[in-house]
Amino acid sequence: MTLSFKHLGDEEGSVIVVALLILVILILIGISATKTTEIEIQIAGNQKFHDIAFYHADSGAYSTPKLISACLDNGAEQDAAEITYLGSSGTFYREIMGFDDYDSDRDVRFTLGGFNVDVDVNRIGQETLPGAGAEFGSGAEGIGVGSAGGVAILYDVDSLGQGPGSSQSNVAVVYRKIIGVAGGL
């Protein structure tokens, strides 16, 4: 028995055309997947840069209250290798004490991993705390026996952190320094 194939005139080479079309579709899917992967890698890199800048700004917001506390406790600006005061000598201390009016210029620069963290501090006021002498004199004992009471000085702390790839992040906090109580945070 012999097999014979019948060729129709319109079907010659159609398998090759279909195979080429499938190959083109697969190539387009591959290119699309590659482009998507490249974009995702760029997004992840940018997110990493932003995270570094955020952590730098957060470090400035965390460190500045300790610096304010040390300056108030010691009566002068404190020196450290990673701290640079951006104004003229004594300006930061005079501003946190309330002797000088607030200016919008950055006051302190910290250097972290080769990147700058610039911080602006604004003394926004003070408040009398429960348990203070004024309440004691009026017969109120405040918050428990031995309560610290006293005065709290309020500061706006605005920290601008830099990171790789010109990334920046800003963290703003309000710090309340209680006079006579140790610590910065």
Residue whose C-alpha is closest to residue 177's, from 69, 101, 97, 76: 69
> Does the structure show a pLDDT above 50 at 144?
no
75-89 pLDDT tens trace: 888 888 788 898 777
Asked whether 117 and 110 are in contact (CB, 8 A), the reply is yes
Instruction: Using the predicted structure, report yes or no on whether residue 137 has a pLDDT greater than 90.
Output: no
Low-confidence winner among 50-64, 100-114, 154-168 (lowest mean pLDDT): 100-114
This prediction's pTM: 0.72
| One-letter amino acid for residue 129 of the chain | L
